[in-house]
Amino acid sequence: MIARLCDLIADQAAGKPIKIPPAGEQVWFWFRELDTQRQGNGYGMNSLGFREIRAWRKERDLPKLLPWQMDAILAMDMKRRSVEAEKVNVAVDEPKAEVSKRPLTSRLFDALFASKVK
């Protein structure tokens, strides 16, 4: 079940239609709710830690999660961050815009950044 839920994360990121298995629906919706409240650090998304999961569970007044539910949420979190990291790596590998080999002279500078005062 956990592997199937993780596969759904990748499928959804790829834009494929997904079908959540009935046995995993509750964990899927819990993860999606946690995922929307995720913090970032400027370099990417932070992981969902035990502290955040515990705080969310208490806020929602849910009973203690079963071990497989906690394992599923943590595995789905790792998969989600992995999928996002792949997207960033693809964007970094894209070819950069070509820079002109023409030297920047004062005439070229004036032509590009013309003064409005005459």
- Cα Dmax for the chain: 75
In a domain, 18, yes or no: yes
Share of the chain above pLDDT 70, in %: 92
Percent of the chain with pLDDT over 90: 61
Predicted pLDDT of residue 93 = 59
Number of domains in the chain: 1
pLDDT band at residue 113 using 50, 70 and 90 as cut-offs: confident
111 φ, ψ (degrees, to nearest 5): -70, -40
Q: In this structure, how many other beta carbons lie within 10 angstroms of the beta carbon of residue 28?
A: 18
| Residue 62 counted as domain residue | yes
The dihedrals phi and psi of 40, each to the nearest 5 degrees, come to -125, 165
DSSP for 53-104 reads: HHHHHHHTTPPPPPHHHHHHHHHHHHHHHHHHHHHHHHHHHSPPPPPP-S--
- pTM, whole model, 2 decimals? 0.72
Length of the chain as a residue count = 118
Lowest mean per-residue pLDDT among 46-50, 57-61, 75-79, 94-98: 94-98
Residue 117 lies in a domain: no
pLDDT digits (tens, 9 = 90+) for 66-106: 999 999 999 999 999 999 888 776 655 566 777 778 888 88
Domain containing residue 85 = 2-112
